[in-house]
Amino acid sequence: MENFWLKLKKPILALAPMCGVTDLPFRTICHNLGADVVYTEMIMVQALSRKGKQVMDLAKISDQERPVVLQLGGNDPELFYKAAKVGAEEIQPDGLDINFGCPAKKVAGHGSGAALLRDLEKSYQIVQAVIEGAGGLPVSLKTRTQIKSSDKAKVHYSWELLDKIKDLPVSAVMVHGRSFEAPWVEEVDYEYIKSMRNHFKGILLANGGINSSEKAKEVLELTNADGLGIGHGVYGCPWIFKQIKEYLKTGKYKDLSWPQRRKIALEHAQLAFEIKGEHGLIELRKQLLWYVKGLPNATDYREKLVRLNNLAEIKKAFMEIEG
């Protein structure tokens, strides 16, 4: 099976996985606007291994967004194996990713996500299990800088995980340069991300705080990474991928006019409706608000946008907005 990671042109610009944000419509929009690879939100292995309708719907992918990576979360190697097999055989993404970074209480509190960094033996078994279940699909990891032990006496660094899995064929690692203990601080430790080069031979993606073309260039220079993972920076701005590419090539980029932004927002709404029906439009409300952020009178628009129920209402409301 072909390893898509090896065919991507560097620097690789990835849409980072985000629960409740990187669903199929949004991933497709980001793909169309220059993302080289898109990640699904984290799918829990307990659910995926049981193949319930809800999780299979959540994990659904489409040919229009490829290459797409399905991210798995959990803490049981056997369930990771089963979920990787279901993922590879039934969801059929281009790659599988393992979440070693989530700090959320309901995830890390149960020994998954970032908490796995405290148990390298189990983490090794999980990576091994996913590789076995993946049936040849490339496997990647996503992690952050560190987590302390439960009694706070010891620091577990993510480079220790990379050293541990050195003999396993892992294609890529996305490193979020913040710790478990300070998950949303302004400052991102790009030096740490750079140091991961000494621990991993595959593709290294830097993640954290990349919200403009200028910042993207700066982070690539600071980390020497093969690419970037972008999270918050895509909120209301899925064209950031195109802009970054233009900036890296020419040193300039064009800002989009309101009519251009509106066109993309409406395409997004159309896709959300086609893929998920009216329910998709309700889910989309928060993203519609992101599209108008920064416009004059944005607060007035926001009040209106949270009440929209169907495609016609969304179109009408957006056409009435002046940039």
Ligand X SMILES: Cc1cc2nc3c(=O)[nH]c(=O)nc-3n(C[C@H](O)[C@H](O)[C@H](O)COP(=O)(O)O)c2cc1C
What positions carry a catalytic annotation?
A: 102
Encode the chain in three state secondary structure.
CCCHHHHCCCCEEEECCCCCCCCHHHHHHHHHCCCCEEEEEEEEHHHHHHCCHHHHHHCCCCHHHCCEEEEEECCCHHHHHHHHHHHHHHHCCCEEEEEECCCCHHHHCCCCHHHHHHCHHHHHHHHHHHHHHCCCCCEEEEEECEEECCCCCCEEEHHHHHHHCCCCCCCEEEEECCCCCCCCCCCCCHHHHHHHHHHCCCEEEEECCCCCHHHHHHHHHHHCCCEEEECHHHCCCCCHHHHHHHHHHHCCCCCCCHHHHHHHHHHHHHHHHHHHCHHHHHHHHHHHHHHHCCCCCHHHHHHHHCCCCCHHHHHHHHHHCCC
Regarding 230 and contact with ligand X (CB under 6 A), the answer is yes
Whether 13 and 230 have beta carbons less than 8 Å apart is answered as yes
Tell which one of 16, 83, 117, 204 touches ligand X (CB under 6 A): 16
Least distance from ligand X to the Cβ atom of residue 113, Å: 8
Tell which one of 5, 11, 13, 17 touches ligand X (CB under 6 A): 17
Report the alpha-carbon distance of residue 11 to residue 220 in Å, rounded. 8
Identify which of residues 18 and 68 has a Cβ nearer to ligand X in the complex. Answer: 18
Regarding 95 and contact with ligand X (CB under 6 A), the answer is no
Instruction: Return the residues of window 271-290 that contact ligand X according to CB under 6 A.
Output: none
Q: How many residues lie near ligand X (CB under 6 A)?
A: 22
Identify which of residues 258 and 290 has a Cβ nearer to ligand X in the complex. Answer: 290
Whether 70 and 87 have beta carbons less than 8 Å apart is answered as yes
Tell which one of 8, 13, 18, 193 touches ligand X (CB under 6 A): 18
Least distance from ligand X to the Cβ atom of residue 1, Å: 24
User: Segment contacting ligand X (CB under 6 A): 88-96, 124-132, 208-216, 247-255?
Assistant: 208-216
Regarding 233 and contact with ligand X (CB under 6 A), the answer is yes
Regarding 27 and contact with ligand X (CB under 6 A), the answer is no
Regarding 243 and contact with ligand X (CB under 6 A), the answer is no
Regarding 94 and contact with ligand X (CB under 6 A), the answer is no
Least distance from ligand X to the Cβ atom of residue 69, Å: 11
User: Segment contacting ligand X (CB under 6 A): 123-131, 230-238, 266-274, 295-303?
Assistant: 230-238
Least distance from ligand X to the Cβ atom of residue 22, Å: 8
Nearest to 69 by CA among 56, 46, 54, 87: 87
Regarding 98 and contact with ligand X (CB under 6 A), the answer is no
Residue nearest to ligand X (CB): 231
Q: How many CB atoms lie within 10 A of CB 227?
A: 25
Regarding 123 and contact with ligand X (CB under 6 A), the answer is no
Identify which of residues 146 and 318 has a Cβ nearer to ligand X in the complex. Answer: 146
Report the alpha-carbon distance of residue 166 to residue 160 in Å, rounded. 10
Identify which of residues 77 and 231 has a Cβ nearer to ligand X in the complex. Answer: 231
Least distance from ligand X to the Cβ atom of residue 58, Å: 11
Tell which one of 176, 194, 262, 276 touches ligand X (CB under 6 A): 176
Regarding 42 and contact with ligand X (CB under 6 A), the answer is yes
User: Footprint of ligand X on this chain (CB under 6 A)?
Assistant: 16-21, 41-42, 71, 99, 101-102, 142, 176, 207-210, 230-233
